[in-house]
């Protein structure tokens, strides 16, 4: 399975999340339905680095996860993700380096299951029976987990899960790349141009595209992480503001989002100019930084083929 970069099925998956009350990173476990599309975990080979140390890399994570049997410890090298090796106990706060349990107590899920798995109770599993299982809506959950196995079979397989690095102030990337990353209670991510404008543009340009494909494409739109106050008070597209209507030269009325959809490149400049003014006046962001962000927004949107 690992040789083919395949997946195996499970009914329980784990994430590291920010507790909304304490701000601490906590481990949470979730029951996933058989038909949810979320019941597959990637299986990958580890690489032996020396007699007692193994390493693991994957394009989806930045850095190398290294663990040592002799030291009983795991850590990231050149990475910013949070890691946990689950030993079957209840979830809790965790930051690297994370102690590695003895092989006999490693949470050994899931085993390959080619046939249908038996039903899982829909109520939380008592603590004494294993880790806490939360049955919650998880459509928007972004699981980033692996089963790592030793090609020679000398080291027991381990289940690890990763948390993406927190969003940085004024970070620019495709909107979808911010998914599952903590905003730290400080930032919100602004589509530039707006998601609605891009959706209108795509429907007009590619009338035969299905709605679910268009929704996926709207994630590949440039976005920037800005302070919550700037997004909510200044952004000209936040909270339905782009439904405001403007009178055209011929006397007709057109909404902001339709106007933006007619020229996405111009919309980027107009949308960003409004945010930039607030960032300059209220946060002292330099003109150089403002223009650096503008250039990056245009670069990403051009690469996505929006203009």
Radius of gyration of the chain (CA): 23
Overall average pLDDT of the 71-96 stretch: 50
pLDDT value for 45:
86
pLDDT tier for residue 72 given thresholds of 50, 70 and 90: low
pLDDT at 260 over 80: yes
Cα angle value 260/298/262 (rounded, 5°): 20
Q: Give this prediction's pTM.
A: 0.61
The domain segmentation of the chain, as residue ranges, is: 7-163, 172-303
pLDDT value for 165:
75
Overall average pLDDT of the 176-190 stretch: 86
pLDDT in tens, 36-54: 778 888 898 888 888 878 8
């Amino acid at each position: 399975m690992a040789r083919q970069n395949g997946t195996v099925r499970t009914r329980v998956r784990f994430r590291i999340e920010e507790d909304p009350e304490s701000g601490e990173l906590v481990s949470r476990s979730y029951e996933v339905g058989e038909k949810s599309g979320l019941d597959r975990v990637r299986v990958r080979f580890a690489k032996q680095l020396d007699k007692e140390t193994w390493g693991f890399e994957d394009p989806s994570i930045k850095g190398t996860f290294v663990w040592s049997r002799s030291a009983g410890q795991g850590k990231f090298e050149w990475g910013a993700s949070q890691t946990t090796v689950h030993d079957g106990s209840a979830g809790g706060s965790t930051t690297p380096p994370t102690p590695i349990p003895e092989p006999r107590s490693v949470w050994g899920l899931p085993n390959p299951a080619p046939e249908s798995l038996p039903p899982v109770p829909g109520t939380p599993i008592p603590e004494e029976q294993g880790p806490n299982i939360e049955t919650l809506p998880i459509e928007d959950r972004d699981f980033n987990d692996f089963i790592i196995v030793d090609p020679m079979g000398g080291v027991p397989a381990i289940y690890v899960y990763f948390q993406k690095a927190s969003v940085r102030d004024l970070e620019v990337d495709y909107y979808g790349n911010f998914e599952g990353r903590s905003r730290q209670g400080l930032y919100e991510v602004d589509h530039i141009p707006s998601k609605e404008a891009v959706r209108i543009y795509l429907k007009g340009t590619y009338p035969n595209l299905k709605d679910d494909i268009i929704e996926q494409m709207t994630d590949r739109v440039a976005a920037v992480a800005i302070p919550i106050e700037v997004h909510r008070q200044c952004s000209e597209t936040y909270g339905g503001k782009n439904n405001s209507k403007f009178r055209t030269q011929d006397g007709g009325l057109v909404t902001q989002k339709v106007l933006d959809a007619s020229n996405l490149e111009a919309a980027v400049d107009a949308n960003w100019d409004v945010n930039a003014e607030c960032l300059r006046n209220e946060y002292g962001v330099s003109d150089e930084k403002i223009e650096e962000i503008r250039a990056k927004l245009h670069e990403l949107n051009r690469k996505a083929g929006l203009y």
